[in-house]
């Protein structure tokens, strides 16, 4: 629903920007408006990828249920519950994505955005409920971290061994980076760094609070934010990889550009959330040491997001090509749990 609403708002924003004039030219020619269009298109691409990937994972799990058995209903429920974390991720991410899009759409409409005769007003008003119903986003953030920690404590999720492995790695000092083969090596490397940042912050928090971390909702929320962004980053890269494999890198230029733009902004959010957690669980020399590790894990060569957004926007503005990437292949189905294969 949020992805579909985002598409409609984006198309309205593009249509209005291409006919509204200011200073003797249409506002679609203004750089800051074009940047908004590119950001909205990128979020819709990532949101669509998240939904299709997770639903495909659930479909694959449900296909293994033997419907002829007496406990078929119980098996079905268990298969669906396995993806409670991913569903909470989509609920939080999607509802906050649509809020951003309708807000930017209203900004493009300017004063007319408040007028009921224009579509921006209703979209802006209606979108707000998404962060409340189906479980508030605050509750869903606690579900994300709570489920992951619960499964880690029970041994269902190898989270604690992954954290220990990462701590051993960072304490051993810098090492030669492994060269990745195949398409999008830098993007895949960045996803790996994002996972390490999340594991590092989660490890520092669990080491201090242990079971009592359930009472630290601000920290639980920050860990959830890192999990959400890590899952979204990986999903965007998987879809871009699949498009490269099926159509070639040249045909995948738009999905690759959108993926890079999203990776850049997601890494900023993950680093900020990790810094928040570390500042809350450490002080003095320990804080300085952990911040130095954080900076090392978060270090990467930035993409030229200005140029990438210009590329995205130029394609969105072409007649009958806007949102054509919706027909791109969806991300590959993988048996992945957030935080499970760091």
Side-chain-facing half-sphere of 1: CA atoms under 13 Å = 12
Topology at the third CATH level for domain 156-327: Butyryl-CoA Dehydrogenase, subunit A; domain 3 (1.20.140)
pLDDT averaged over 10-residue windows placed end to end, the chain, 342 residues:
96 96 95 96 97 95 92 92 95 98 98 95 96 95 92 78 80 69 91 94 90 93 97 97 93 96 97 97 94 93 96 78 51 48 36
Q: What is the pLDDT of residue 174?
A: 64
52-81 pLDDT, tens digit each: 999 999 999 999 999 999 999 999 999 999
Compute the CA torsion angle 138, 139, 141, 145 (nearest 10 deg).
140
Give the pair of three-digit tokens for residue 100.
Answer: 């951003």
Q: Is the pTM of this model over 0.85?
A: yes
Pull the structure tokens for residue 268.
């900023």
Give the DSSP letter string of 279-320: HHH--HHHHHHHHHHHHHHT--PPP-HHHHHHHHHHHHTSTT
User: Is-contact 321 41, C-beta < 8 A?
Assistant: no
Given a contact cutoff of 8 angstroms between Cβ atoms, the answer to whether 82 and 121 are in contact is no
The two structure tokens encoding residue 202? 């989660």
Active-site residue, from 11, 82, 96, 134: 134
Question: Regarding the domain with residue range 2-131, which homologous superfamily does it belong to in the CATH classification?
Answer: Butyryl-CoA Dehydrogenase, subunit A, domain 3 (1.20.140.10)
Cα–Cα dist 244/277, whole Å: 37
- Smallest Cα–Cα separation from 234: which of 181, 196, 286? 196
Q: What angle do CA 52, 58, 61 make, to 5 degrees?
A: 140
pLDDT tens for residues 169-213? Answer: 877 766 656 777 788 999 999 999 999 999 999 999 988 998 899
Our answer to whether residue 86 is catalytic in this structure is no
Give the pLDDT confidence score for residue 315 in this predicted structure: 82
| pLDDT at residue 321, rounded to an integer | 47
CB atoms within 10 A of CB 204: 23
Are the folds of 2-131 and 156-327 the same?
Answer: yes
The structural domains of the chain, with segments of one domain joined by +, span: 2-131, 156-327
Q: Is 22 in a helix, a strand, or coil?
A: strand
In angstroms and rounded to an integer, the radius of gyration of the C-alpha atoms of the chain is: 21
- Residue pointed to by tokens 């871009």: 240
């Amino acid at each position: 629903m949020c992805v579909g609403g985002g598409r409609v708002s984006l198309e309205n924003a593009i249509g209005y920007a291409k006919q509204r004039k200011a200073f003797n030219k249409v506002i679609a020619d203004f750089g800051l408006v074009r940047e908004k269009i590119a950001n909205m298109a990128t979020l819709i691409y990532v949101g669509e990828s998240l939904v299709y990937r997770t639903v495909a994972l659930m479909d694959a799990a449900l296909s293994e249920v033997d419907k002829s058995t007496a406990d078929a209903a119980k098996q079905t429920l268990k298969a669906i519950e396995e993806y409670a974390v991913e569903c909470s991720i989509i609920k939080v991410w999607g509802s906050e994505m649509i809020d951003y899009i309708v807000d930017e759409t209203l900004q493009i409409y300017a004063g007319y955005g408040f007028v009921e005769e224009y579509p921006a007003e209703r979209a802006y008003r209606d979108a707000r409920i998404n962060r409340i119903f189906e479980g508030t986003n605050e509750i869903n953030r606690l579900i994300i971290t709570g489920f992951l920690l619960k499964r880690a404590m029970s041994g269902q999720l190898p989270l604690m061994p992954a954290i220990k492995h990462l701590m051993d790695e960072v304490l051993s000092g810098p090492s030669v980076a492994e060269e990745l083969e195949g398409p999008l090596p830098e993007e895949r490397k960045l996803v790996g760094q994002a996972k390490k940042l999340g594991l590092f912050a989660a490890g520092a928090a669990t080491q201090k609070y242990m079971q009592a971390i359930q009472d630290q909702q601000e920290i639980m929320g920050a860990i959830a934010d890192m999990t959400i962004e890590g899952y979204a980053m990986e999903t965007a890269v998987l879809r871009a990889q699949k498009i490269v494999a099926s159509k070639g890198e040249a045909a995948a230029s738009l999905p690759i550009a959108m993926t890079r733009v999203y990776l850049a902004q997601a890494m900023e959010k993950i680093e900020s959330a990790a810094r928040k957690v570390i500042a809350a669980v450490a002080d003095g020399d320990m804080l300085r040491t952990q911040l130095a590790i954080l900076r090392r894990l978060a270090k990467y060569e930035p993409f030229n997001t200005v140029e990438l957004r210009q590329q995205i926007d130029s394609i969105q503005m072409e007649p009958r090509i806007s949102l054509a990437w919706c027909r791109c292949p969806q991300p590959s189905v993988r048996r992945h749990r957030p935080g499970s294969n760091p």
